[in-house]
């Protein structure tokens, strides 16, 4: 692996924070799909992406989804990975 490759390697876990109860949950992110729905394990709220975001990780995660991370590291705006 070359040194430049490390800059484009996406993180594959993100901490989701429920907007209803503020419970945090560390979740794995797929590299080739968007997660549109996530049910909070504490209160049962169904998390959905905010308008303009492609997935729950981009809306409620500590780290955006891998496709957005890769786009940003390449210098693209990278807000919507699934359009």
Q: Is 46 exposed, middle or buried (0-12, 13-18, 19+ CB in 10 A)?
A: exposed
Question: What domain range includes position 52?
Answer: 3-73
- Assess if residue 80 is contained within a domain: no
Q: What is the mean pLDDT of residues 3-25?
A: 85
> What is the reported pLDDT for 49?
97
List 27's β-bridge partners, or say none: 14
- Assess if residue 67 is contained within a domain: yes
> What is the reported pLDDT for 48?
98
Number of domains in the chain: 1
- Assess if residue 79 is contained within a domain: no
- Assess if residue 82 is contained within a domain: no
- Assess if residue 39 is contained within a domain: yes
* 8-17, 20-29, 71-80: least confident range: 71-80
- Assess if residue 55 is contained within a domain: yes
39-69 pLDDT, tens per residue?
999 999 999 999 999 999 999 999 999 989 9
- Assess if residue 65 is contained within a domain: yes
- Three-state DSSP at 17 gives strand
């Amino acid at each position: 692996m070359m040194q430049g490759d490390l800059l484009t390697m996406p993180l594959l876990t993100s901490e989701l924070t429920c907007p209803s109860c503020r419970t945090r949950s560390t979740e794995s992110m797929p590299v080739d799909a968007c997660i549109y729905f996530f049910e909070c394990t504490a209160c049962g709220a169904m998390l959905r992406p905010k308008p303009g975001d492609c997935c729950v990780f981009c809306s409620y995660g500590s780290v955006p989804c891998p496709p957005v991370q890769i786009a940003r590291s390449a210098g693209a705006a990278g807000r919507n990975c699934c359009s």
